[in-house]
Chain A
Amino acid sequence: EVQLVESGGGLVQPGGSLRLSCVASGFTFSSYQMNWVRQAPGKGLEWISYITSGGNTDHYADSVKGRFAVSRDNAKNSLYLQMNSLRAEDTALYYCVREGHYWFDPWGQGTPVTVSS
């Protein structure tokens, strides 16, 4: 079964940092581009980052550019999101998603991040 399991979310103060992890199973992780998508409370889905299968190219939404960094370790079937200079508006459920040919499937269950003092 193809599965993505996120972890690392929690409560952090404004200006703080957090590192999210996503472990993949059931497919050849190193063959797929991966993305992070988030959903703030009561809001819609927001794409925030992309990384190529080899990890050598990454892209970000303007809302997180310069603060967030995506990386991966194909030997550990793992995807990461390093989040720095966190703001209240970064409070959201963060999803790890596998990319097909310009579509996202499957999605993990998400890990919650709350930025508050």
Chain B
Amino acid sequence: QSALTQPRSVSGSPGQSVTISCTGTSSDVGNYNYVSWYQKHPGKAPQLMIYEVDKRPSGVPDRLSGSKSGNTASLTISGLQAEDEADYYCCSYAGSYIYVFGTGTQVTVL
């Protein structure tokens, strides 16, 4: 049950795009299309942004998109806005009712 690997931080100017990677193994990310992404602002509860790799819950802007290739999932934020500045975590189902989260990525809007 090792954590999925994410970059510690990414940054971009308003309007730019940033992509956060989430690397696992063939036992989790590579084996299931059950990757989800969560946004967490300081002092607030995490919020679901993406589920099942690339699906957006209602209310999540289409500037956020998810994808997966092999053992690596990705979250792209297009048209970066100040409100996107937060921590982002990926999460993958790993079989047998076990889940594993990513190490987390801090997104900074310059």
A residues in contact (CB < 8 Å) with B: 35, 37, 44-47, 50, 57, 59, 61-63, 95, 100-110
Contacts and interface: CB of A to CB of B under 8 A. Distances in A.
A105 to B, nearest CB: 4
A111 to B, nearest CB: 12
A45 B52 contact: no
Contacts of B102: 44
Interface string B79-103: 0000000000101010011111111
A83 B48 CA distance: 27
B104 A101 contact: no
Given A45-B38, A47-B91, A100 B51 contact: yes
Contact of A103 (B45, B51, B100, B101): B51
B36 to A, nearest CB: 4
Contacts of B48: 103-106
B15 interface: no
Given A44-B3, A44-B89, A61-B1, A35 B99 contact: yes
B93 A102 contact: yes
A50 B99 CA distance: 9
A44 B34 CA distance: 19
B100 A107 contact: no
14 contacts: A37-B101, A44-B3, A44-B102, A44-B103, A45-B40, A45-B91, A46-B101, A47-B100, A102-B36, A103-B52, A103-B91, A104-B38, A104-B48, A104-B91
B46 A61 contact: no
Max chain B C-beta neighbours (<10 A), residue from A37, A101, A103: A103
Nearest to B33: A102
B47 interface: yes
Q: Which 8 A-B pairs have the closest CB atoms?
A: A102-B34, A103-B51, A105-B48, A44-B104, A47-B99, A107-B45, A59-B97, A103-B36
A59 B103 CA distance: 21
A44 B1 contact: no
B46 A107 contact: yes
